Structure 1
């Protein structure tokens, strides 16, 4: 079925006149009539009834017109969705926790752009909960995160890039703040806070089992940097990823030497897009060089 004949048919229904429709389409009336005749031959039924007063749609012709209009609307909607998908296929949306300095994406962004300059990179900073909501509904492609049960829940997958320990975060006046490094033995008698953004699997159990003199608890609050800094006035200490300590000045960070380390990488959902595959491959290349 020729789509040009369908266009002609719709135009004729607007004018209810072969001559008026022919004028609107800048063709002769006999040429337009031939297109209608061919369309009627294709569909196998009459589309118009002709009389001395003009033409009008047959019952079958009206049903056909209604269906064509719905079909065209569906096709336009489909094309819109396809164009949006095509646009997203050249865009990578990377999420990181709001209030924490991203660690992975800044290191990968430059090398990835050099290799794939046509792909737009969109960093997104949101709360931890909102990041996972957006990932699950397809508004994000990947989240910078650490390996924990949440990274594997609800069909999510985790791609590790490297393993890291933790730094001890404390006020500059704390007795341990002048040390160049610390061990868990050094923290005997201290109160350690683990923050909501950094609930490391196995850490609390490990400390409670092996270092019973250390009090360790979790703070479930979502705090901005100012509130977190003020919370150290009571003398407690915190554990944070090494790269975020500079965000909490004037607090002091000291590297913690311990046996436990945790994988850091990206959380995503299957199926992985071609763009996400490219991004993860570049990330692996970048961090393999850093680790060496």
Structure 2
């Protein structure tokens, strides 16, 4: 029973906290999931969930079981990948957690990867920087693309590209012709800043406190990088972002990026990460290589010759396959 649908249904309910939400993800009726869980509880002789008015909460037995089920699912995926390695990459799956600022880079890597391995499937979830790190370290996600990961033994940084905080603005804005700008100069114009749900906001606040002091009072706080770009393109204000957030619009001539000149502003490191000591399936290992190549490809210099990405670093070789087959 544990090596069948019941385990998958149980795991999904545990993740989603309710039958209906799990049913929506699995595209089956809630009653079918409920029957499998009831049968599983009867087989084990204990309750796995407490059913409440707001959803399903795992019991102590459920907490114990879910760890084993998830290990089994990860092991099964690994074994499937190893079997596929015997006959080539005919199928497989890669899960990627990423910050919103990395969506264009990841999308470009996926497009290249799909050309080589059209049968590979992907799960991608956009989340906060710390959530990416947590999911990778817990082995719930194969590969992460995130900002400024910590120096943790359980975390392997596969590739890092350092870049600068700056402003995005319309090409006809009065500041668009300068090569660098200070926060004090920016403060003379309406500012559009990411809210606390976006990783970059912490660096923005720290930079403001060091260079200007007082409370940052933007014209708009926004929970979407895409909306910040749209507002800046319409002249609502200056968007405080990194160049990596708007490369597509910059290259299309829709926006201009000006790096901040303030010396005490931290650099951003966009990193490809994985869990140390974890034997990844071959598709995930190859995806890491593709993402690392993509970071090199996006090493961008402004039309005036001013570097926006200051350096690209890699960890020493990890013993993974050295090249994409």
TM-score, normalization by structure 2: 0.46
Larger proportion of helix: 1
